[in-house]
Amino acid sequence: MKIQWTHVAFRRLNEIYGYIENDSPTNAEKWLDRLLKKMATIKDFPKAGRSIPEVEAANIREIVYGNYGIVYKIKEDAVYIMTIRHFKQILPLADLDE
């Protein structure tokens, strides 16, 4: 199954990366590399993520990476990365709109 990024998810990824990069470019690169490796599990096992309590849809799931949740939607043709959020943040449900 292929992975597709929404504009919102890609923007959030860049925001988080930029925030980490301000402290340490090396740590930002490590964070991104590990995040992408973690996401590889979604490609092979799309149902591996947990159901999200705020959302009552079986095809919307989240995998945990450190202090972040990667929220994605499973469709027949692909897995769509909807957003990335820090767990201290409330999940903005508007981010789940396509």
Supply the DSSP string of the chain, one letter for each residue.
-EEEE-HHHHHHHHHHHHHHHHH-HHHHHHHHHHHHHHHHHHHH-GGGSEEPTT---TTEEEEEETTEEEEEEE-SSEEEEEEEEETTS---GGGG--
Domain ranges of the chain: 2-90
On the 0-12 / 13-18 / 19+ scale of CB atoms within 10 A, 70 is buried
Architecture of domain 2-90: 2-Layer Sandwich (3.30)
82 pLDDT exceeds 80?
yes
14-43 per-position pLDDT tens digit: 999 999 999 999 999 999 999 998 888 888
* Cβ proximity of 71 and 52 under 8 Å: yes
Mean pLDDT, residues 94-98? 62
Which pLDDT does position 13 carry in this prediction?
Answer: 95
- Residue 85 has φ and ψ, to the nearest 5°, of -135, 150
